[in-house]
Amino acid sequence: MASALSERLSRIVKEMRGQARITESNVTDMMREVRMALLEADVALPVVRDFIAKVKEKALGQEVVGSLTPGQAMVGIVNRELAALMGAGVADINLAAQPPAVILMAGLQGAGKTTTTAKLAKHLIEKRKKKVLTVSGDVYRPAAIEQLKMVSAQAGAEWFPSTADQKPVDIARAAIDYARKHYFDVLLVDTAGRLAIDEALMREIKELHAALDPVETLFVVDAMQGQDAINTAKAFKEALPLTGIILTKTDGDSRGGAALSVRAITGAPIKFAGISEKIDGLEVFDAERHAGRILG
């Protein structure tokens, strides 16, 4: 792996000894390094460009103060800006709705939707003391319905049965009905995913959204997805009013630049991060820590 950004910047900074201020050409040199670091972390190019423009403005004219080297100052600025960009508006799951509060899980197949649905159920049961029902609208993959059943049991959540011959909207309505009658606080709705974005899938999830009127619509995205995350995020943002993001597989070896892209594209806050395959592998997203990781 390439050397850490702070190291690379200090090389540039050595040439700046004796200067009182960071000049435009210093900033340009440093920004080249920042840009490289972000691209290596798989942040999407348009997002990198916007980010650089913003940081450049902040950095220009900064005084090269006291013992803090300009390189450290620059790393500080970049870190803060990254964290602010990813962390603004962070909040726990919103449950302010007439019960059951419905949470719709959206994302590509393999992103970790089903696993995350159960992790979230466990979080809501244990930390928020809620009575939670789960249901799967994935009528294309009976195995996915079974998978949700299994992981819901591990989470201590009740699972509402569905079958492949039903329409997702009908399943969702029946689940809401059941949840109301049995005084559930929360209904988590897992949905079908595809390996790539497709129109039928988007139409279906829009219909589901309209029928469910969820209080949270969460976009589940794989931190390892890298550059592709931007197209996925765009497509889901266009289809749905996303209220939050869950970044999965942050325990993988990617630098997690997808977080920055997805946050920038959707404007929705990253609420949680998946940190393992296990049912308790979910954490509140820590923007500062993630910023450090992206910069390496």
According to the annotation, is 264 in a ligand binding site? no
Minimum CB distance to ligand GDP smaller for 51 or for 219: 219
According to the annotation, is 248 in a ligand binding site? yes
In the complex, least distance from residue 195 CB atom to ligand GDP, rounded to whole angstroms: 9
Which residues of the chain form contacts with ligand GDP (CB under 6 A)?
107, 109-115, 193, 248-249, 251, 274-277, 281
According to the annotation, is 108 in a ligand binding site? yes
Number of neighbouring beta carbons within 10 Å of residue 50: 12
Measured CA angle at 165 (ends 162, 167), to 5 deg: 75
According to the annotation, is 114 in a ligand binding site? yes
In the complex, least distance from residue 282 CB atom to ligand GDP, rounded to whole angstroms: 7
Burial 143-180 (b: 16+ CB within 10 A, else e): ebbebbbebbeebebbbbebeeeeebeebbeebbebbe
Minimum CB distance to ligand GDP smaller for 126 or for 251: 251
Minimum CB distance to ligand GDP smaller for 110 or for 292: 110
Burial 237-274 (b: 16+ CB within 10 A, else e): bebbebbbbbbbbbeeebbbbbbbbbbbbbebbbbbbb
Report residue 38 as tokens: 């972000």
Place of tokens 């390439």: 2
Minimum CB distance to ligand GDP smaller for 10 or for 276: 276
In the complex, least distance from residue 241 CB atom to ligand GDP, rounded to whole angstroms: 20
In the complex, least distance from residue 193 CB atom to ligand GDP, rounded to whole angstroms: 5
According to the annotation, is 296 in a ligand binding site? no
Measured CA angle at 247 (ends 245, 250), to 5 deg: 165
Task: Tell me how far apart the alpha carbons of residues 261 and 150 are, in angstroms, rounded to a whole number.
Answer: 33
According to the annotation, is 119 in a ligand binding site? no
Minimum CB distance to ligand GDP smaller for 256 or for 281: 281
Residues annotated as binding site? 107-114, 190-194, 248-251
Residues annotated as binding site for GTP? 107-114, 190-194, 248-251
